Structure 1
Amino acid sequence: MRILVVNVNTCESITQAITRQAQSVAALGTEIIGLTPHFGAESIEGNFESYLAAVAVMQRVMAYDQPFDAVIQAGYGEHGREGLQELLEVPVVDITDAAASTAMFLGHAYSVVTSLDRTVPLIEDRLRLSGLWQRCASVRASGLAVLELEQDPERALQAILQQAEIAVREDKAEVICLGCGGMAGLAEQIRQRSGVPVVDGVTAAVTLAESLVRLGLSTSKVRTYAAPRAKAIVGWPAR
């Protein structure tokens, strides 16, 4: 089985970290291929960058010229998953959906801890669109930009932990979701210090994608995610 894990930004070091995290839980026989978009922003922290990333991710996946069995979009709260589902016959899993749906098996309510406050509405909207909002206790911002998470890991850990503890104490969350692909690898440390289950979206997405492939299931094509209608598209960079 081959799974493409696509970073939404153009930071290669984040792609490598996401890929390592995905590989850490992949089953024997699952090959993880990390992809970085050919264009876009170095970090995604707003609507403009998110819409740009949606096109870049679709282009990057369609440019991959080897067979694959599933795609993971490794951006929390980002746009584009639906477009990939129209374009592809294989399962498409977004890490936002994967983390939240997994958290719902582990507790009554979950909270998301993300990067900057401006990304909170994007995550809230994604959870509503995916039907996962009802059991979300809160979406909290650590106050750190995406690239800062990598530059100062200890500061990042403390900022995320602080918001996780507030979510548990004040928002009554029973599970924490790490709301940024750049937080890959921090789940166990946050779990030990917060005392509640912590879900990393990348690893959750890998196990979900593997399950869908093994079950022989993929996106329904009868209506919402039917393949795009044949028509002229001027300047589209993908095949």
Structure 2
Amino acid sequence: MRIVVTNCNTTQEMTEEIVRGARAAAGPGTTVLGLTPAWGPESAEGWLDSYLSAAAVMDALRTYDGPAYDAVVMAGFGEHGREGVRELVDVPVVDITEAAAHLACLLGRRYGVVTTLERSCGQIEDSLELAGVGRNCVAVIGTGLGVLELEDGERTEAAFLTAAERARDAGAEVLVLGCAGMTGLQRVVAEKLGVPVVDGVGAAVKLAESLVELGLRTSRAGGYARPLPKRRAWGRDPGQGGHGAASRGHSG
């Protein structure tokens, strides 16, 4: 089985970190490939970055010419684009936001999300509502750290713990890492706070594997029907239209 994990920004170092987390969660028969958009924001923090990132990720998948893959994991927490990607490719698409929330709902009645900057909280809340798992979320708390500041492990852990305590005090029985760049914190934080902590990257990889193994794919009846055939100009590349190269990316 081969899973493509898409970073939501252009920072290659973050893609590599996400891939390491994805490979740690993947089963022995799963190969993980990281995909970094060729253009877009260096970090996704806010509505403008998110919409730009969504288009960039879809463009990266549209023009993908690597080995065939069986599923896509979208590693942008709260970022836009998952519905469009489900129209675009013919394999299961799992977003780390909803994957983490769904697993959290299996572990406790209420969960909380700890993320980066406060400006991302409303966007994450909207994403959870759209995925149908917002009702069980008691709080989305920012650490005050930007995405590119998460490289400082000690500082990130301290800020996460402070925010996580606020979420727990608000009634969260389970915590969710609200950024792919936080992957790896879950074990340390769970031990210190005494509650389960779900990493979205790991959750999404395991759900993607399950969908593939069960032979399940995105429904084409209704909202996720294939895009209508028409000319589509992508950015400054008006010569390429239609569905692009996405259909080459899947196996089976």
* Alignment TM-score, normalising by the size of structure 1: 0.97
1:125 to 2:119 alignment: no
Shift of the alpha carbon at 1:59?
1.1
Which runs of no fewer than 5 residues in structure 1 stay unpaired? none
RMSD of Structure 2 on Structure 1 (CA): 1.0
Q: Deviation digits for residues 97-153 of structure 1, max 9, x if unmatched?
A: 000000001011000000000000000000011100010010000010000111x21
User: Which residue in the other structure is 2:229 paired with?
Assistant: 230
Letter in 1 for 2:111: Y
Give the percent of matched residue pairs that are identical in Structure 1 and Structure 2.
52
1:137 to 2:153 alignment: no
* Matched pairs, number: 237
1:188 to 2:163 alignment: no
1:20 to 2:53 alignment: no
In 1: Cα distance, 2:182 partner to 2:222 partner: 35
Q: Deviation digits for residues 183-214 of structure 1, max 9, x if unmatched?
A: 01111111111110000000000000000000
In 2: Cα distance, 1:37 partner to 1:233 partner: 19
Matched position secondary structure for 2:20:
helix
In 2: Cα distance, 1:197 partner to 1:67 partner: 35
In 2: Cα distance, 1:36 partner to 1:89 partner: 20
Matches within 5 A, 1:13-162: 13-65=13-65, 66-150=67-151, 152-162=152-162
Shift of the alpha carbon at 1:64?
1.9
Matched position secondary structure for 2:229:
coil
In 1: Cα distance, 2:36 partner to 2:88 partner: 19
In 2: Cα distance, 1:50 partner to 1:144 partner: 17
Letter in 2 for 1:35: L
In 1: Cα distance, 2:194 partner to 2:14 partner: 27
Which runs of no fewer than 5 residues in structure 2 stay unpaired? 245-252
Matched position secondary structure for 1:190:
helix
In 2: Cα distance, 1:63 partner to 1:175 partner: 38
- Partners of 2:117 and 2:142 within 8 A in 1: yes
User: Which residue in the other structure is 2:167 paired with?
Assistant: 167
- Partners of 2:141 and 2:166 within 8 A in 1: no
Cα gap change, 1:208 to 1:235, in 2 (>3 Å): closer
* Alignment TM-score, normalising by the size of structure 2: 0.92
Letter in 2 for 1:230: P
User: Which residue in the other structure is 2:203 paired with?
Assistant: 204
Shift of the alpha carbon at 1:235?
3.5
